[in-house]
Amino acid sequence: MKVEDAIRQRRSIRRYSGKKIKDSDIMDILRSGLWAPSGLNNQPWKFLVVKEKNRLEKIAEFTRYGKVVKDAAAIICVFLDNGSIYNREKDLMSIGDCIQNILLKSYELKIGSCWLGEIINRKDEIHEFLKTGPDNELMAVVALGYSDGKIPKGRRKGINSFMLE
């Protein structure tokens, strides 16, 4: 698969079939996240994988997109490790790169994924529930699951609409 094809064809998948994901596939997805660039190679991320239905249902209560979390086969909680920060702004960008790698690897494995950012509005409650410690700051949740077959169409504005003069 060409990188360009993966970039253009990957979609956020919010409806899942219920099929389980192999642990080895989840580990491959996480390993791809590790290869994101980071300032001074500090690799400022931490992950927590949640697959248990009762925990997914509880985490779903913390977001208005709870159905995506509840129906996922697994979620990856992506944290910024505040103990390893080199430059917060650069580290935040690195976390975004890490998540993009996770999304692209999921696509390659034919596993649907959805980057959920709104959930960080209640990150303090999530930290309390997950007991993730004071140095780990929730940046996003990535829901994973095999698509129910309904893949949304993608669309983008033309490049000229983004160019500054």
Decide which of 162 and 154 is more confident: 162
Give residue 16's pLDDT band: very low, low, confident or very high (50, 70, 90). very high
Tell whether 161 is covered by a domain. Answer: no
pLDDT band at 154 (very low <50, low <70, confident <90, very high): confident
**How many percent of the chain have pLDDT more than 70?**
100
What is the model's pLDDT at position 160? 93
In a domain, 99, yes or no: yes
Predicted pLDDT of residue 165: 87
163 within some domain: no
Rounded Cα distance between 4 and 19, Å, is 28
In a domain, 160, yes or no: no
Q: Is residue 164 part of a domain?
A: no
Can you give the pLDDT at residue 107? 96
- How far is Cα 81 from Cα 42, in angstroms, rounded to an integer? 10
Q: Is 2 inside a domain boundary?
A: no
- How does residue 31 score in pLDDT terms, banded at 50, 70 and 90? very high
CATH number of 119's domain: 3.40.109.10
Domain total for the chain? 1
3 assigned to some structural domain: no
Asked whether the CA dihedral 110, 137, 80, 136 is positive or negative, the reply is: negative
Query: What pTM value is reported for the model?
Result: 0.95
For residue 143, what are the domain limits?
10-148
